[in-house]
Structure 1
Amino acid sequence: MTLRVSGLLLILLGLTFWTGHALQLIPVHETLGFVLVLSLWTLAFFAARAGVATGWVVLAVVWGLVAPILGLAQERLLTGDWHWTIQVLHLLIGLGAIGQGEGLVVRMRRRAASEQMRAA
């Protein structure tokens, strides 16, 4: 739930920034970004404990590292007319982080259901 709510707020704030409004809320956006990453890592921890394939867990952890690095560095990357490409990449990385978290939850639920079927 935290991942979804923070993700939705991040998207809304990001779109607001793209229109040139509410730029004073960028620190709020950054904080929410860290909340999203911590949520993703928490899900990765529980997914690992639930027996989700290591590759999915590692991907989520690495994705969680890339997202804030790109987010914090984006103002210095490819400035000028092509900066929009970095902004789009930042959006896609953020959407990917939300998707990674959702995917981990699905895999944990499938694994739990599979174990229940075996136990029955």
Structure 2
Amino acid sequence: MVIMTARILQIIVGLAGLCALVLGLVIWIANIDLTDIHMLFGLLVTLGLLVMSIIALTARGLRIWGLVGVVYAVILLIFGESQSNILAGHLHWLIQALHTLIGIGAIVLTGFLGARYRTLKRGEAKPEASSQALY
């Protein structure tokens, strides 16, 4: 059941991340105010990463990555909410680029955690084939 949840979270975060990325580029390049919708998709990515990280914390072999994911989700939320006030002026594009990279990193980290979790759990369910030695 949790394996399916991990896969569903990967899909949701991937789609929400794609929407947030496209909307962010539209906001950045075309100056069309779609910030509220962009923030909603960003929040979905952040919550998805947080839930996936909590799932990873329950799996042996992924606990450190789960902790990294929780910290990353908190940083993502804080940076996403405050990025419009950082380095205002003609150099703000640096913050926008960093914001984009951090968002892409969250999508990638969620995908990594989900894939690794599913691999670990499927490996636990299979019997040991290496115990049969060929002589």
The verdict on a shared fold, with TM-score over 0.5 as the criterion, is yes
Structure number with greater Rg is: 2
Is 1:9 aligned with 2:19?
Answer: yes
Q: TM-score when scaled to structure 2? A: 0.81
Report the AA paired with residue 114 of structure 1.
Answer: G
* Displaced runs of 4 or more, over 3 A: 117-120
**Ranges in structure 1 where 5+ consecutive residues have no aligned partner:** none
Matched residue, 1:20: 30
- The answer to which of 90-99 and 105-114 deviates more is 105-114
C-alpha separation in 2, matches of 1:37 and 1:17? 20
Q: Paired residue for 2:88?
A: 79
Partner AA of 1:48 in structure 2: L
What's 1:101 paired with? 110
The structure in which a higher percent of residues are helix is 1
Distance 1:9 1:52, change over 3 A: farther
Match for residue 50 of structure 2?
Answer: 41
User: How many corresponding residue pairs?
Assistant: 119
Q: Distance in 2 between matches of 1:118 and 1:53?
A: 21
In structure 1, what is the equivalent of residue 133 of structure 2? none
TM-score (norm. length: structure 1) = 0.90
Are 2:76 and 2:102, in contact at CA under 8 Å, matched by a contact in 1?
A: yes
CA distance in 1, matches of 2:127, 2:48: 30
| Secondary structure of residue in 2 paired with 1:51 | coil
Equivalent of 2:39 in 17, 27, 30: 30
